[in-house]
Homo-oligomer: A and B are copies of this chain.
Amino acid sequence: MLLTKNISLFRADKIIFENINLSIGSGKILGLKGKNGSGKTSLIKTILCILEPTSGSIFWKGKNIEKNLYDFYNNVTYIADKTSSLKQLTINENIKIWKNIFLSKINNDQIEKILQTLKLDSYKNKKTNILSLGETKKLELLRLIIENKKIWILDEPFTNLDSEAIDVIKQTFEDHCKKEGSIIFSSHQNVQINTTEDLLL
């Protein structure tokens, strides 16, 4: 569905990456691996059309992505390498806002259950600024479930997580693949995720 053709990116006259060809169909997991500064985050942002590739082009469902950008966006969830939950609000309030802004159809029981598996349920009514780093990251990953889109694009989803949480995420990834979803994630760690394809940047 998503296809990049020879995209390259220059930033401040530095080559960040060159001639990348990717294709992501349903049921696939693509891992972007690379050292620090190898351009993983930049590549992800380019795929999301936040950065413009210096050359090459990206296609979505056969059409140039710029032409049906909002259709693409309707199918994609992006977890950035920073956390976006609002620090002034409690976990519950954050979830409520997400649910309504993303027009999610998920019901409260489901969320309750996920919060329990992630061990966040005891903080439901606490402001998110008291959460530890890992807990904040888990909350962020909850967006995957709430947005409930086809393509997941994740930038370093495993940082700050302990091995238990990583297992939960792995499981979620597999479930998503079975449901014909597709996943792109970047990582510099050697996490044992069964990727269908790897790209070394």
Query: Which residues of A are at the interface with B, using a C-beta cutoff of 8 A?
Result: 11-12, 34-37, 41, 81, 119, 126, 130-135, 138, 156, 159-165, 188-190
Contacts and interface: CB of A to CB of B under 8 A. Distances in A.
Nearest to A131: B37
A161 B36 contact: yes
B81 A133 contact: yes
Given A41-B132, A119-B37, A163 B138 contact: no
What is the count of identical protomers in the complex?
2
Contacts of A159: 159-160
Contacts of A35: 134, 162, 164
B135 A36 contact: yes
Residue of A36, A163, A188 ringed by the most chain B CB atoms within 10 A: A36
A33 to B, nearest CB: 9
A134 B187 CA distance: 11
Given A160-B159, A188-B161, A188-B162, A134 B37 contact: yes
A34 B159 CA distance: 15
Given A12-B130, A130-B12, A159-B159, A135 B37 contact: yes
A127 to B, nearest CB: 10
A124 to B, nearest CB: 14
Given A12-B126, A36-B135, A37-B135, 9 more contacts: A34-B162, A35-B134, A36-B161, A36-B162, A37-B132, A37-B134, A134-B188, A160-B188, A163-B190
Contacts of A81: 133
